[in-house]
Amino acid sequence: MADYKAPLRDMRFVLNEVFEVSRLWAELPALAEVVDEETANAILEEAGKVTAGSIAPLNRSGDEEGCSWDNGVVKTPAGFPEAYRTYAEGGWVGVGGSPEFGGMGMPKVIGAQVEEMVNSASLSFGLYPMLTSGACLSILNHASEELKAQYLPNMYEGRWAGSMCLTEPHAGTDLGIIRTKAEPQADGSYRVSGTKIFITGGEHDLTENIIHLVLAKLPDAPAGPKGISLFLVPKIMVNADGSLGEKNALGCGSIEHKMGIKASATCVMNFDGATGYLIGEVNKGLAAMFTMMNYERLGVGIQGLSLGERSYQSAIEYARERIQSRAPTGPVAKDKAADPIIVHPDVRRMLLTMKALNEGGRAFSSYVAMQLDTAKYSEDRETAKRADELVALLTPVAKAFLTDMALETTVHGQQIFGGHGFIREWGQEQLVRDCRITQIYEGTNGIQSLDLMGRKIVGSGGSYYKHFADEIKAFVASADASLAEFTKPLAAAVQNLDELTAWVLDRAKSNPNEIGAASVEYLQAFGYTAYAYMWALMARAALGKEAQDEFYASKLGTARFYFARLLPRIHSLSASVKAGSESLYLLDAAQF
């Protein structure tokens, strides 16, 4: 497998030339004080060095060794504790954390690039700081000042880690039926009892403490999701002076043996009357947890992108070096027995598909991250509201479409290697295995599609969608004639999505099955259209520079490939949506 190199040139292109993020930061006083283009570039350069030098070399060995469990004690693979220490000492765990408690305070759009780099280096490794950052976000936004001061500094510093304890053996998507209980105590704390499964980083040897965020119900809580509260439950109790005390009444019952991300500890966690502290209000736990969901679900989308990028870097190196057969038009490498496989049309199709989806995904994830920053930091109420509604609309697309495209991308990368792609030592099969979980956790992609169609499209009466569609139409209307080869098909794609949206909204009035029946294909059509917008923006930034710089020539060539070969997929997807729900209900359950 090729050594990982952070795609810094493309990241800078997206941030500085496509979106001109420094202008956004200048308009947001809270960000203008902490970041500018020079600072951002320095952060990305250093992150690229750390991830490529300290983390990427552990990816295959971590997969081979995996985590181990012995009587409740979990060990990560060799090299992980040392690499985590290096990562934490650089301040990377707290890159987006509040400066008030020791974080860097960087905007999400910078954090998104750092996330991509660490997850490309090793997704298993990247999950540990990701879960900590997510836990910090909920604590920062909902916990008491006392809890913030007591826990956030050490978590941002990377001395303590975090986990999210949601899922139970009988309750995954339907959290309203969880059974974990929290009993109030005289001192204001709670005794938390129950079992949680699939807990990423629930136990490990990377940090001296782990801070669990646990969903549970009080004895008198109302039924369903309205009766869920959120609790902070430390692995080791924290004394008033900040020192560590006795171990809390909790433990890791086992770890899962998984298809991929084997160096990430996926734990069964047992809480046996563990001491916990309420975060936010009683029975408002889901609201507190969902504060971080937009960030975490975008983060999972970025995980997919990260694996696609790592696969592409190896595939392009292999395709340039591996010689097999001659080009259809005659010998290219006349001094060799055969030509490099990059001359063959099908290999080029796969490589260009990978490149177009990766670079489109990087632009789209950065765009969504910018909306998160605007929603969080804008002092203009209407601007913040519009950005917040765009985040709500685009988050399920970012999570599901990026990860669906990532599986396609990593499979292409494996295919380019031929038989070697099926062999462990080449690394491509690991990326396929690791990628598969991104379509499942943090809400399966089917659930993301239902969220987009049911809550964000039908639930808003199409108003959230209108923000995005109107923005694209305004771009098309203002574009120079030189961009017509991109804006014309983009305009047609948006019109198609308009019609598709109106069709589902109308059909859903009389048949609620239409929402679920349309949801997956609708999200896919939405995703391809969104990427078309990203590619048109990138083409605008590259146009006129291609003669002087190969980077821009490559960007324009990839944009043309996207519009010619990938965007047309929306037509078959649209036909599937408009086929309706009837054919899904032709069979009785016994007939399957």
Annotated active-site positions, please?
442
C-alpha span between 378 and 336 (Å, rounded)? 60
- Cα–Cα distance list, 502 to 180, 259, 289, 522, 529 (Å): 42, 40, 32, 12, 16
Amino acid at residue number 295: Y
At 535, list the tokens. Answer: 């590619």
DSSP-derived letter for residue 98 is -
C-alpha span between 490 and 530 (Å, rounded)? 9
Cα of 481 vs its chain's centroid, Å: 35
DSSP-derived letter for residue 563 is I
Instruction: Say if residue 205 is exposed, middle or buried (CB neighbours under 10 Å; 0-12, 13-18, 19+).
Output: middle
Q: Do residues 233 and 271 lie in contact, with contact meaning Cβ atoms separated by under 8 Å?
A: yes
- The strand pair at 190-200 and 266-279 is best described as antiparallel
**Residue 161 backbone zone (phi > 0: left; psi -120 to 50: alpha; other: beta):** beta
Amino acid at residue number 70: D
At 188, list the tokens. Answer: 């204001």
C-alpha span between 26 and 16 (Å, rounded)? 13
C-alpha span between 59 and 225 (Å, rounded)? 39
Other CB atoms closer than 10 Å to residue 496's CB: what's the count? 16
At 90, list the tokens. Answer: 């650089």
DSSP-derived letter for residue 212 is E
- Cα–Cα distance list, 504 to 55, 499, 507, 571 (Å): 46, 9, 5, 16
C-alpha span between 414 and 357 (Å, rounded)? 16
- Alpha carbons within 13 angstroms on the beta-carbon side of residue 129 total 35
